[in-house]
Structure 1
Amino acid sequence: MAQRRVSTSTKWTEEDRARIHILGLNAHGILYGHSLGQLRARPPLTYIVPSNQRVLQLAMLNGEIEVIEGDDHYITDGFDVEACDRLPSGSLHEYPSTNHVRINTLTLPAKTKFDIKIEPQPNDSYAPYKGLDRSHGTSVKFNNDPSELGYGSGQRLVVESTPAERKISTADLVLMDNEKAKETLGPIKNLICAVDVQSVVHALQVNKHRLSRESTILLTEKGMGIMEMINEQVFPNPKTRPTYIPGVFSHAVWQSGEVNTNSDVLSEEIEAQFSGVEERVNQNSLAAKRWPFGSLLLGPVAAIEGETVKERKTRQKCANYLLSALLDPAASLGASCVSADKLLFTRLRDLAIASVVGPTTVRYNCNNRGIGADEERIAHVESRLREAARIVQAYFPTLTYEYLAQGLGNYLVMSGDRVNMMFKNVVSGRKSNIEWNNGWLVKQGRILARGGPSLCPGHEDDLVYIQDMTTKAALWLQEREEEARLTRAAQRPTEKQ
């Protein structure tokens, strides 16, 4: 029987092409949303979050997120939000749901009148890419505006609108079954992946049906081997694989409550985890603090084995819309396009530093700055950093121990008294990114050793230690939750009397 050919090309609406989805509402996700929300030609923005609690949280905050720089507070609103399948986590604070919740709070509603202008564009936003085509591909129109938005290479598009100010009400909440949600939610053209590396596979897997080869994904997760992991577990077919923009996110940004200057950090963090079990929605946590500087390095689109030059250029054009938004100076992301070598150099430098700081804070029960509190800790840090330098120098000889030590010192000054994210994951009984940092160093050390003694015995010890501590913390929290459940059950008959 003859087979019928079926087109795999996605049918994009004008809004689909313009909309940018942000996967994750953590500190990084908040900064992305705030930054893109400042653009003069602001695109429609949608947050994809892992639970109904997050949707309700944003609703209770009137759809507003906050970025704090010193004494300055910046409020941004006007986001759509969708709940997808819950990410796998050892956390006791979020529970699975059989329904999705969506809130429709677009800043640019369909009835808004747009003032569309064409102005001279003296600066080429894509200049760092040599020979990069400036064309966005098919022209994008907003909300069915009849005018064609085509413009020349020496011009830029300006879209102005007056947002409709209104409060979020319960009428904006829409409950739908999970399977129904998968059918009704539209395709994703532009995706910023702001989740942690340990969650990225599941987060992309549950949204895979909305992504296609014409989609673009920004990946800034820290560690090595991430794109290879995504290709293997989520998008194994190169012909249908989305375009990846690899990047390095180097902004000092954190959420409130991530600072601790006390010495006994571990016990306080674990106690905080347990005491928060009863708190299902935190109304005050969608705020991110940041230093007023930082950078976002954007590498060339990831190559796909076997593709032609024409196919590569087509994928580059698909990525231009998202790139232009990130590179816009109004976004204040400090974004720039760099070569693949520059991006790898920066990623390896950051990996070496992170592989030392995170495990050391857990081992010595301290915050970031505490890893240099005494001679024993300093000796431990030096030993681990020298091991990491042996590995990364195989890629770039300039990544010496002395260079990394200077970078580590700068990082500790920048990070202040914040509790390290690996520390917070461990005390929460959640998987951390140690497999993509220390685990990668251990694997590379074995390869370079060629059957000889391990080049990273200290990092191998840290890998086992962190995994063991994570398991112990998860069991401890489960036991405390069970005790609390039994206590509540015992009190119910008394309460009824």
Structure 2
Amino acid sequence: MWHRPWRPPPQLDEGEVKREAEKELSREKELSRQLMREEEKMVFSSTIHVLGLGATGKYIAHALASLPNGPPVTLLMHRPLLMQQWHDEGAAIRVLVNGEHHVQKCFNVESSAKFETQDPQQQFPRFGPNLEHSAEPPDTVIGNLVVTTEPSVTLAALASIKHRLRKTSTICLVQDGLGIIERINSTIFPDPHDRPTYVLGRITHDLKSTDRHFTIVENRVGGFYCSKLPQVVETKEEYYAPVINRTDFSWSLHARHLVGSLLRTPGLNVTSLGHKSFFARQLSKLAVGAIIGPLSVAYDCSNDQLLYNYSASQNIRYLVAEISRILLSLPELASFHKIERRFGVNKLDSLVLRCIRKTGKNTSTMLQDVRAGRKTDVDFYNGYLIQRATELGIPCPRNHMLLHLVKGRQARRSREANSYIPFENES
């Protein structure tokens, strides 16, 4: 009987191993996409939840509710007082434009955190049974979430509803500054395979709050810029296989629904950008905020006073040069055409001066927060620049100084506001 002679298995070089691993990953990725699509179809929700009820959150919720045949809009409230104010003011959001009130009442209300009301049976029958609420927050899945909270409180706000978010969910973060996504991933969603889809947004409408919490004024019409971030997954099949980073640019059902709803809202003037274009725009805003905000805290003055103080104007120049060097070195911007025109010293200097002249006697948000003893967003301005400069090996002593100056003044004011009494052996 004839037997086939034994031959050793073919030896694959490193390139072939990598190609085989990529093919296997591609097959698994396609299967994962199919499973995700099926899962999304089962859990898809058209409701858009809004977390953060400052002027921006209320404006976006009002605009979405004004859409004909638009998606249901749910407001997430974290304090009993806020819910009480909502009902006391007629369970509606009012936007004042050119002296004319635009009222929207088509909202659902949910608590985003567990809280006890003064009366467990408290209800608000004047505004309909759908507005009753209990101390227990719901456990239903949130498919579409718009977050407008300040970056300094975003982690805590998301942690309270983490159990309601899935990998099929889409979170739209409408904030200034950068670096919040990295913190959300490390704190809230450490497993890359469980992370939702992120959309970054920035709004330029000039909005102002009023004495009535759910009434705002639109002083000037602006725009809304948004961009869906690609998802990056790191895979290593076996110990001998290479690590493969895959960038997924596909759109989930919830991402298409949320961004599509925003684009259909005429009052928002939404423009959808590629993630690199959005990143560049956000960096320009960040550079200006990283100079005006901290310096207004350092000199405890309105924005326009920075132009009339020789020491402050000199510090602006030094900071512009330091920040420009960091931005021009970022690898994400290497492919941009004529990057020097956008982030060079002369361009950044003109942006800062233009913003100071435009805002005039206004007090920066960072200074308002410090005076009130609240946490500031300096970590997402100067802190982000310091992080990127460290990665690139670029010294940035002035940003370090301003970061700790702002934090120190905020901590001092917070202690004063809380009648802080130090103890001798306190660590």
* TM-score interval for Structure 1 and Structure 2 normalised by the shorter chain: 0.7 to 0.9
Tell me by how many angstroms 1:225 deviates: 2.0
| Deviation string, structure 1 residues 51-74 (Cα, Å, up to 9, x no partner) | 111111111111122223443433
Tell me, in whole angstroms, the C-alpha distance in 1 between the residues paired with 2:162 and 2:412: 34
Corresponding position: 1:467 with 2:407: yes
Which of residues 189, 210, 227 in structure 2 aligns to 1:235?
189
User: Partner of 1:18 in structure 2?
Assistant: 46
Which of residues 110, 133, 154 in structure 2 aligns to 1:200?
154
What letter matches 1:228 in structure 2?
A: E
Which of residues 113, 122, 133 in structure 2 aligns to 1:174?
133
* Higher normalized helix content (fraction of residues): 2
Distance 1:241 1:444, change over 3 A: closer
User: Partner of 1:476 in structure 2?
Assistant: 416
What SS class does the counterpart of residue 66 from structure 1 fall into? Answer: strand
What letter matches 1:55 in structure 2?
A: M
- On the 8 A contact 2:113/2:160 being kept in 1, the answer is yes
Corresponding position: 1:75 with 2:98: no
Distance 1:476 1:70, change over 3 A: farther
Tell me, in whole angstroms, the C-alpha distance in 1 between the residues paired with 2:393 and 2:304: 33
Corresponding position: 1:407 with 2:351: yes
Distance 1:309 1:318, change over 3 A: farther
Tell me, in whole angstroms, the C-alpha distance in 2 between the residues paired with 1:102 and 1:39: 34
Tell me by how many angstroms 1:312 deviates: 4.1
Tell me by how many angstroms 1:439 deviates: 1.4
User: Partner of 1:143 in structure 2?
Assistant: none
What letter matches 2:151 in structure 1?
A: V
Question: Where do residues 345-494 of structure 1 align in structure 2 (5 Å cutoff)?
Answer: 345-395=280-330, 396=333, 397-398=339-340, 399-449=343-393, 454=395, 456-479=396-419
What SS class does the counterpart of residue 247 from structure 1 fall into? Answer: strand
TM-score normalised according to structure 2 size: 0.77
User: Partner of 1:285 in structure 2?
Assistant: 213
The 10-residue stretch of structure 1 (215-224 or 410-419) with the greater mean CA deviation from structure 2: 410-419
Tell me, in whole angstroms, the C-alpha distance in 2 between the residues paired with 1:102 and 1:50: 19
The 10-residue stretch of structure 1 (422-431 or 372-381) with the greater mean CA deviation from structure 2: 372-381
- On the 8 A contact 2:225/2:278 being kept in 1, the answer is yes
Higher relative contact order (CA 8 A, sep 6+): 1
Tell me by how many angstroms 1:287 deviates: 2.7
Tell me, in whole angstroms, the C-alpha distance in 2 between the residues paired with 1:104 and 1:346: 46
User: Partner of 1:221 in structure 2?
Assistant: 175
What letter matches 2:88 in structure 1?
A: M
Tell me, in whole angstroms, the C-alpha distance in 1 between the residues paired with 2:46 and 2:361: 40
Tell me by how many angstroms 1:315 deviates: 3.9
What letter matches 1:53 in structure 2?
A: L
Distance 1:53 1:222, change over 3 A: same
What SS class does the counterpart of residue 472 from structure 1 fall into? Answer: helix
| Deviation string, structure 1 residues 198-233 (Cα, Å, up to 9, x no partner) | 111111111111111111110232222221111111
User: Partner of 2:207 in structure 1?
Assistant: 253
Larger radius of gyration: 2
| Deviation string, structure 1 residues 296-334 (Cα, Å, up to 9, x no partner) | 22223332324999994664333111111111152x212
Which of residues 77, 85, 91 in structure 2 aligns to 1:49?
77
Report percent identity of matched pairs. 22
Tell me by how many angstroms 1:247 deviates: 2.5
Tell me, in whole angstroms, the C-alpha distance in 2 between the residues paired with 1:233 and 1:424: 28
User: Partner of 2:228 in structure 1?
Assistant: 300
Tell me, in whole angstroms, the C-alpha distance in 2 between the residues paired with 1:98 and 1:27: 26
Tell me, in whole angstroms, the C-alpha distance in 1 between the residues paired with 2:327 and 2:245: 31
User: Partner of 1:132 in structure 2?
Assistant: none
User: Partner of 2:261 in structure 1?
Assistant: 325
The count of aligned residue pairs is 367
Tell me, in whole angstroms, the C-alpha distance in 2 between the residues paired with 1:103 and 1:407: 52
Unaligned ranges ≥5, structure 1 = 1-6, 87-96, 106-165, 257-282, 482-497
Distance 1:72 1:419, change over 3 A: farther
Tell me, in whole angstroms, the C-alpha distance in 2 between the residues paired with 1:446 and 1:313: 29
What SS class does the counterpart of residue 418 from structure 1 fall into? Answer: coil
Tell me by how many angstroms 1:429 deviates: 1.6
The 10-residue stretch of structure 1 (432-441 or 286-295) with the greater mean CA deviation from structure 2: 286-295
Question: Where do residues 121-140 of structure 1 align in structure 2 (5 Å cutoff)?
Answer: none
Aligned CA RMSD, in angstroms, stands at: 3.2
- On the 8 A contact 2:64/2:265 being kept in 1, the answer is no
The 10-residue stretch of structure 1 (335-344 or 310-319) with the greater mean CA deviation from structure 2: 310-319
User: Partner of 1:133 in structure 2?
Assistant: none
Distance 1:416 1:343, change over 3 A: same
Distance 1:102 1:18, change over 3 A: farther
What SS class does the counterpart of residue 409 from structure 1 fall into? Answer: helix
Tell me, in whole angstroms, the C-alpha distance in 2 between the residues paired with 1:45 and 1:68: 20
- On the 8 A contact 1:55/1:103 being kept in 2, the answer is no
TM-score normalised according to structure 1 size: 0.67
What SS class does the counterpart of residue 345 from structure 1 fall into? Answer: helix
User: Partner of 2:13 in structure 1?
Assistant: none
User: Partner of 1:189 in structure 2?
Assistant: 143
What letter matches 1:442 in structure 2?
A: I
Which stretches of structure 1, 4 residues or longer, exceed 6 Å deviation after superposition? 100-105, 307-311
Distance 1:309 1:389, change over 3 A: closer
User: Partner of 2:238 in structure 1?
Assistant: none
User: Partner of 2:277 in structure 1?
Assistant: 342
What letter matches 1:358 in structure 2?
A: G
- On the 8 A contact 1:361/1:371 being kept in 2, the answer is yes
The 10-residue stretch of structure 1 (200-209 or 293-302) with the greater mean CA deviation from structure 2: 293-302
Tell me, in whole angstroms, the C-alpha distance in 2 between the residues paired with 1:368 and 1:336: 29
Unaligned ranges ≥5, structure 2 = 1-34, 236-243, 334-338, 422-427
Distance 1:293 1:83, change over 3 A: same
- On the 8 A contact 2:144/2:254 being kept in 1, the answer is no
What SS class does the counterpart of residue 432 from structure 1 fall into? Answer: coil
Tell me, in whole angstroms, the C-alpha distance in 2 between the residues paired with 1:102 and 1:317: 39
Distance 1:480 1:230, change over 3 A: closer
Distance 1:417 1:72, change over 3 A: farther
What SS class does the counterpart of residue 175 from structure 1 fall into? Answer: coil
